[in-house]
Structure 1
Amino acid sequence: MHLLAYIIVYPLLWIISILPFRILYLISDMVYVLVYYIIGYRKKVITENLKLVFPEKSEKDIFAIRKKFYKHLCDMFLEMAKTITISREALQKRFILKNPEVFKKVEKSDKSILLMFGHYASWEWVVELQNQTSLPGFGVYKKLNNKYFDRLVRKIRARYNTTLISTKETINVITNNEAKGLKSIMAFLSDQSPKLSKDVYWGEFMGIEVPCFTGAERIAKKLDLTIAYLKVNKVKRGYYESEFILLSENPKEFKDYELTDMFLREVEKQIYEAPEYYFWTHKRWKHRGKNPKIQLK
């Protein structure tokens, strides 16, 4: 079944990828009508998330954000398909790093860079950063169940000299690279919900206590890596700007979870500024109220 799904879907994705952007966004407008008005994809989850983190907003405001989010979601899905064949030159025009001088300065520090970013605006086109650095890039991701699509995603990233590694491979790959003296840039999407365990860190995200991923911070401290945040904003349809924000070149100087909290505050700032560009389809706050330390009090 996995192979059959790939054989059916891949040609469609490839055709989409070679279309001019103006046609791509016309299709996106049609997909939006289908997804929002007819299918109602995850509409309940999205609405609940928005009402939870914006209790002060009226229902009219919530629905307005929801509509804008769906339009962005459809654009982003088609932009993901476009990545299959988009030229390096086209991607450079559409995903810009505002402060390459800061990035270059940090790069010269002779340390690997651990780059954190959230599910905001466009995380698919972050691969463009490889044009800004001589460091080999690694992206931490969750393997897809369909091995054929998983291989496709890896192949797409390889076009931009980025190697995808699964969460289980992460610590071994980074440790081995550091032992060999191979400096790299490692990208982590760190704003989603981890599995519950007794050791999980509970922090605040959008004013609500939730379990948080701390892998990036722990690895940075263990191996003494530079840790930074990539702020990505949507300028207009099909165009994004990113900003390299240094969190610390000496992560061991920070208390446990302080860097994780700093990262979450950066993501929050962006959400408050333009909430429609956050990835509201995930059940990010599903574990709220389940902190066993609070429940035992």
Structure 2
Amino acid sequence: MAKSVEIQSWKEAVTFRFIPDWIAIGFLWCIAQLPYALLRRFGEGCGVLAYTLARKRCHIVRVNIALCFPEKAPAEREELVKQCIKENIVGVFESAYAWWGKPERLKAQIDVIGQENIQNAVARGKGVLLVGAHYSNLDLGGALISYCVPIDVTYRRHNNPLFDYFIRTRRARFFDHIIERSALRSMLKGLKKGRVLWYAADQDYGTKHSVFAPFFGIEAATLNSTAKLVQMTGAAVVFVGHHRKSDGRFELEFSPILENFPRGDDCTDAALINEGLERQIRKFPEQYMWVHRRFKTQQHEKKGHFYR
């Protein structure tokens, strides 16, 4: 699919073409004005409805859960599917809250695990690669992280130019630099200045710039750029997880520094990154974005083999 044309002002999108998009954005803006607790309950209710209606996404989640949690009974896996859909809908509403609401009100509800780990990594002075993943509270979680440590973030340009505009401009509330994922020079520049860069390496971008490494025991196309960024800058690698807790609070966890990385072998390095991500995801598996086709690229099968 061709890249979307980047717009610099919302006024460029005041056309008939974007009417459905403006309606969606208006709805999300309204959602963002709700008190957070009410927003969360509303999202959970909509998630129950989505579990019934969003058959394609439910199928993708169901396949991923079956592949990654074969030890669970079928009923347990289906319950995890249901919870995942619900949490992902809550995450959409939380993104709206991060963009147009007042997430700073949630500062007092953050429980931080491993604050000393990120502090030690920053103190090395060679930059920090903060390896994250696509959890359902992606935007709100990023905002909460920014209250603990100043960060730059990478992102993938959205195919819809209006949504892309709002993603860029609203995330700029919290992050010093928002870097398109292909802008390697900008990433290197920030790391060499000792900055912290949030970087997600948990999605399937095909075979280009990827190797195959186990993820929940399944061979998955995994970006090898994580190791290359560290090799070129000497940055410390710290994993970060951000999750909702059942008591209404939030948990941020910074792992100890991943020592002796990279090891010099792309497959070994990719496996180490996947292992670190898997440890975080297993703590709150329902809050991961299993809605993505993580295993669509396989070495010896046609694209999308698992999801037919």
Provide the TM-score with structure 1 as the length reference: 0.85
Instruction: Report the more deviating stretch, 276-285 or 265-274.
Output: 265-274
The alignment partner of 2:39 has SS state of helix
Structure 1 position 246, deviation (Å)? 3.2
Q: Is 1:216 aligned to 2:226, yes or no?
A: yes
The alignment partner of 1:161 has SS state of coil
User: 1:230·1:244 contact (CA, 8 Å) conserved in 2?
Assistant: yes
Which consecutive unaligned segments of at least 5 residues does structure 2 have?
A: 1-15, 303-308
Structure 1 position 123, deviation (Å)? 2.6
CA distance in 2, matches of 1:88, 1:35: 25
Equivalent of 1:183, from 194, 209, 217? 194
Equivalent of 2:237, from 227, 237, 242? 227
The letter for the 1-side match of 2:137 is S
Which residue in 1 is equivalent to 2:142? 126
The alignment partner of 1:251 has SS state of coil
Which residue in 2 is equivalent to 1:97? 112
Structure 1 position 237, deviation (Å)? 6.3
Identity of aligned residues (%): 22
Equivalent of 1:117, from 132, 155, 162? 132
CA distance in 1, matches of 2:260, 2:126: 10
Instruction: Report the more deviating stretch, 272-281 or 56-65.
Output: 272-281
The alignment partner of 1:232 has SS state of strand
Which residue in 1 is equivalent to 2:159? 145
Instruction: Report the more deviating stretch, 9-18 or 31-40.
Output: 31-40
Instruction: Report the more deviating stretch, 86-95 or 204-213.
Output: 86-95
The count of aligned residue pairs is: 286
The letter for the 1-side match of 2:60 is V
CA distance in 1, matches of 2:161, 2:250: 30
CA distance in 1, matches of 2:197, 2:154: 7
Render the CA deviation track for 1:221-240: whole Å, top value 9, x for unaligned: 11211111113343226532
Which consecutive unaligned segments of at least 5 residues does structure 1 have?
A: 293-297
Task: State the superposition RMSD in angstroms.
Answer: 2.5
Which residue in 1 is equivalent to 2:72? 57
Provide the TM-score with structure 2 as the length reference: 0.83
Equivalent of 1:16, from 31, 39, 46? 31
CA distance in 2, matches of 1:115, 1:201: 21
Equivalent of 2:204, from 178, 193, 214? 193
Structure 1 position 185, deviation (Å)? 1.0
Equivalent of 1:168, from 174, 182, 202? 182
The alignment partner of 1:243 has SS state of strand
Q: Is 1:265 aligned to 2:288, yes or no?
A: no
User: 1:224·1:251 contact (CA, 8 Å) conserved in 2?
Assistant: no
